[in-house]
Amino acid sequence: MSRYFPQAMPFIWSRVSWGARPPTGKLSPLSQPRTIVLHHTVSAPAAPSREIRTIQDYHLQKGFADIGYHFLLDRPPYVNGQDVYWGRETGADGSLNVGAHSRGHNQDSIGVAVLGDYESEQPSREQLRSLAILLAWLCFAWDIDPDAIVPHSALNPTSCPGRFLTAALPWLRWQVTWRLHGLDGEAPFQPPEGDPDTVRIVVGNGAPTIRGWLLDGTLWAPVRALATALGRRVEWDGATRTAYVFLQRRPLLALPPPPPPRVRVVVEGSELAADPPPMVKDNMSVAPLPALAGALGQVVLFDAPSRTAAVVTPYPITKAGGGAGSCTRVRR
């Protein structure tokens, strides 16, 4: 079972397209990777096919059986939406072999390299978008957590993949997380304008964005707006300061009002247990977002830099073929 929404395999240039040499030795199958390791190549700029051949030649001279990386991504001048290249030779069924890119960690990782030197250059936005699409597919196919996308420098004493690409990793993980949970388009990367406490709440079913708040470390959401966006009815009982959230019929409950300034939220007959408890803000009943979303069968993703919360339905799905990494099988 995968935890993630299906991701289409991006266009990937074959080894034939860049003139790969055959491996000089036997390669071992990669069983179940736990991490994706990000690299930069610091190679001399050239047309992609020539540059990748040069990298393979260098790796063969070092005694590797083949190019060490599993995948490589174009430099900015060549980015056009078809930007990924197969690196290390795969098995007969298209499954990955153990790479040679992170000493001591090759047995359980996938190596992804970006052509260029990102210690001195900034990766382009187009590069990062293509990289996010590739990483999302890899995370889905191998059931890898986006937090397990790591820089080479996290595993070995090196500056790879350069300070600028390393700095982009939080953005990349957020974009990958967004895609893996079935959200459309590109995740917001700028915070909402106005009040610094404001948070945008994006509902995974395509409902309009909701304004929420981040106060003292707690995410708050307006009860009526979120519940309505998720297809529930909401009724307010002023006498007991209770917001009833239900799908078909409001429960008949005899409840006293809570002490001011609290309000009560009842979801399908059960009072919402949240710490801190629901309250009134801007003349609206609001509740901690994780507790309210959880009571409505949803999970919350939150990105602090963009002050964006996404409310999505958990999406388990069985991978085609059933085996780990079966989605990596392709015709080359």
CA distance 217 to 231: 28
pLDDT of 3 reads 82
pLDDT, tens only, 110-124: 999 999 999 999 999
Q: What is the mean pLDDT of residues 227-231?
A: 97
* pLDDT at position 320 over 90: no
The average pLDDT across 228-235 equals 97
| Closest residue by Cα to residue 71 from 120, 27, 130 | 130
Higher per-residue pLDDT: 90 or 320: 90
CATH assignment at residue 82: 3.40.80.10
Number of domains in the chain: 2
Domain for residue 101, yes or no?
yes
**pLDDT tens digits, 43-61:** 999 999 999 999 999 999 9
Expressed as residue numbers, the domain containing 89 is 12-182
State whether 230 and 173 are in the same domain.
no
Rounded Cα gap, residues 47 and 50, in angstroms: 5
**Do 56 and 120 sit in the same domain of this protein?**
yes
Token pair belonging to 55: 């990298």
* 4 occurs within a structural domain: no
Q: Which pLDDT score is estimated for 81?
A: 92
**pLDDT of amino acid 185:** 87
Same domain for 107 and 18, yes or no, is yes
Model pLDDT, residue 1: 58
pLDDT of residue 94: 87
Task: Say if residue 84 is in the same domain as residue 148.
Answer: yes
Lowest-pLDDT range of 100-109, 193-202, 319-328: 319-328
- How wide is the angle at C-alpha 127 spanned by C-alphas 317 and 14, nearest 5°? 70
Shared domain check, 83 and 203: no
Calculate the alpha carbon distances from 113 to 117, 263, 308 in Å: 11, 53, 29
Identify the pLDDT of residue 329: 25
pLDDT in tens, 236-281: 999 999 999 999 999 999 899 999 889 999 999 999 999 999 999 9
Separation between Cα atoms, residue 67 and residue 53, nearest integer Å:
9
Answer yes or no: is pLDDT of 92 > 70: yes
Answer yes or no: is 289 within a domain: yes
Q: What is the pTM of this model?
A: 0.89
Residue 306 and residue 245 in one domain: yes
* Residue-level pLDDT at 328: 28
Task: Mark whether 205 and 281 lie in a shared domain.
Answer: yes
Counting residues of the chain whose pLDDT is more than 90, the rounded percentage is 88
Find tokens 């700028």 and name the residue. 190
Say if residues 236 and 256 touch (Cβ distance below 8 Å). no
